[in-house]
Amino acid sequence: MRIALGLEYDGTAFSGWQSQSHGNTVQDVLEKALGRIAEAPIRVACAGRTDAGVHALAQVVHFDVAVDRRDSAWVRGVNSHLPPQVAVRWAQPVAADFHARFSALSRSYRYVLLNRPVRPAVQNGRVGWCHQPLDFSAMAAAARLLLGEHDFTAFRAAECQAKSPVRHCYRADVTPEGDVVTFDFRANAFLHHMVRNIVGALVYVGKGKHPPQWIGELLAGLDRSLAAPTFDPAGLYFAGVEYAPEWGLPAPPGIIIRP
């Protein structure tokens, strides 16, 4: 039997999603908790891996299991064995050919940036921070240049293992509200560090270091060394996954993140 789960987590204390020998990853603690309910080892596959310090509001995973359990066991039962920073939101059986990663049509990320002179305290680890005033109109104009299909080599981490750097970006919005700026991105898939590298470049535009068209020049130049440094992981949230309706999975929750 194949089961799909919806998951949220605060990534601050974890070394990312992917399992590692020390065991301090989201995948590690989830598989351990699932194993307690299944009374057997469990391996999961996720819709999109997240790095150390990155959070998730609507991660989707699937796993195969031989025992029959109620859906509530995969939610409340698993949650009773998870650390407080990780929670299963929903669980349901899916067809054997469903795959959390390969069945996804698109993924969404949100980056939350605190833009004020003083660093965050209560929201430390959950928002990025820029103390300099930013030109939001310039940033929004720059973000629009990311829409469509492009080679995103300029925003790709050196250790990225994707076979192709070409991605289709469906959404790239910059929305200021008070001293908080949210960046919303949706694409068919993302490269390693792609969102954090894009946010870093957009912040450079907002600071006035480059005009909005610089983003287009970076895309055309295909040179990561010419772009801005990778931005802080703290403000990044894996916000949701889009699947075809026939899979019958719950829609991603509304995004509410406010310092």
Q: Do the domains 2-102 and 106-238 sit in the same CATH topology, yes or no?
A: yes
Query: Of 53, 44, 54, nearest to 6 (Cα)?
Result: 44
Q: Which residues of the chain have pLDDT under 70?
A: 254-259
- The correct answer on CATH 3.40.50.2300 for the domain covering 2-102 is no
* Confidence at residue 256, expressed as pLDDT on a 0 to 100 scale: 55
Give me the residue spans of the domains in the chain. 2-102, 106-238
* Confidence at residue 21, expressed as pLDDT on a 0 to 100 scale: 83
Report the CATH architecture of 106-238.
Answer: 2-Layer Sandwich (3.30)
Please indicate, yes or no, whether the overall pTM of this predicted structure exceeds 0.85: yes
Render pLDDT for 91-146 as a digit per residue (tens, 0 to 9): 999 999 999 999 999 999 999 999 999 999 999 999 999 999 999 999 999 999 99
Q: Is 240 exposed, middle or buried (0-12, 13-18, 19+ CB in 10 A)?
A: buried
Residue 200 φ then ψ, to 5°: -60, -40
Please check whether residue 88 is in contact with residue 71, taking contact to mean a CB–CB distance below 8 angstroms: no
Query: Of 29, 24, 2, 1, nearest to 13 (Cα)?
Result: 24
Active site (catalytic) residues: 51
Residue 103 burial (CB count, 10 A): 20
* Confidence at residue 258, expressed as pLDDT on a 0 to 100 scale: 53
